[in-house]
């Protein structure tokens, strides 16, 4: 699914994603654990931990949509899944992700330690690198192509993707919809969004963003999710210039068979 440019909107298809610099992105955002990411991790780990504490865990498949150069959403799903798909469009990010599968870099250990502050993670007593190597696979793909894979995954994350790939509100909403439709009914999910982002750099290149707040995030989710919450982080907007905060959404994919197909 590709929307055509309209007015001043910069659409996902307009962007040269191969120019994304994952090393520069990691160095700026994830070389050290920042307060905002620590807060996000605490919310997500408690959501997943509580969900699976109450349920027998069978064979599960997880997906991180638009994984980019960020491993911590996959780490958050690691204990619960027999397979985790890192789904990513940028060829540069795909190369980075593949370089991390056999033994991820040491900077990601600090993120794992935050997850293990929840007993549901710590009690599993797993070697995260061995587990990552065993269950993670990298899959190139466009977010909008997930319409062909409805209900395929039983756990999902999408961090800083739908609002960070386009300046179009229509594409933002469709991106959220495609993510949630890829999950099976009842699947737990977590997603994060930059609030009122004006765009961002990854290396020398500038990438577009869609200006959304908590009300837009909530509206994009409500047709497709049950028992979900949106929360604005308490941490101040200090990662970079050009945004006002971060929003985390979490809940479960609903099972409403009456939802019309994408684009209707």
pLDDT in tens, 194-227: 999 887 777 787 778 899 999 999 999 999 998 8
Average confidence (pLDDT) over 20-40: 94
User: How far is CA 36 from its chain centroid?
Assistant: 15
pLDDT in tens, 151-180: 999 999 999 999 989 899 999 999 999 999
More confident residue, 73 or 167: 73
The pLDDT score that the predictor gives to residue 2 is 38
Average confidence (pLDDT) over 61-85: 96
Whether the per-residue pLDDT at 257 is higher than 70: the answer is no
Determine if the pTM surpasses 0.95: no
Tokens of 191: 């997603």
| Spatial separation of the C-alpha atoms in residues 29 and 195, rounded to whole Å | 16
Whether the per-residue pLDDT at 4 is higher than 60: the answer is no
Q: Could you identify the residue written with the tokens 């765009």?
A: 199
Under 8 Å between Cβ of 190 and 48? yes
**Closest Cα partner for 89 from 4, 2, 7?**
2
Under 8 Å between Cβ of 129 and 52? no
The pLDDT score that the predictor gives to residue 57 is 66
């Amino acid at each position: 699914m590709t929307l055509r440019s309209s007015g001043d909107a910069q659409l996902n298809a307009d962007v040269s994603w191969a120019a994304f610099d994952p090393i520069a992105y990691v160095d700026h955002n994830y070389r050290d654990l920042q307060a905002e990411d620590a807060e996000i991790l605490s919310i997500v780990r408690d959501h997943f931990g509580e969900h699976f504490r109450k349920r027998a865990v069978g064979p599960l498949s997880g997906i991180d949509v638009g994984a980019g150069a960020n491993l911590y959403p996959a780490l958050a799903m690691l204990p619960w899944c027999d397979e985790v798909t890192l789904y990513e469009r940028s060829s540069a990010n795909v190369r980075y992700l593949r370089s991390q599968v056999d033994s991820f870099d040491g900077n990601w250990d600090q993120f794992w330690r935050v997850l293990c502050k929840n007993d549901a993670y710590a009690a599993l007593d797993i070697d995260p690198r061995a587990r990552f190597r065993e269950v993670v696979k990298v899959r190139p793909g466009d977010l909008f192509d997930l319409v062909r894979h409805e209900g395929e995954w039983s756990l999902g994350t999408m961090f800083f993707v739908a609002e960070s790939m386009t300046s179009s509100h229509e594409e933002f909403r469709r991106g959220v919809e495609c993510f949630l439709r890829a999950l099976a009914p009842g699947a737990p999910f977590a997603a994060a969004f930059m609030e009122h982002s004006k765009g961002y750099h990854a290396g020398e290149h500038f990438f577009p963003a869609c200006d959304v707040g908590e009300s837009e995030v909530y509206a994009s989710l409500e047709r497709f999710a049950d028992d979900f919450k949106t929360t604005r982080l308490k941490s101040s907007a200090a990662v970079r210039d050009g945004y006002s905060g971060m929003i985390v959404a979490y809940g479960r994919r609903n099972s409403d068979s009456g939802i019309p197909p994408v684009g209707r």
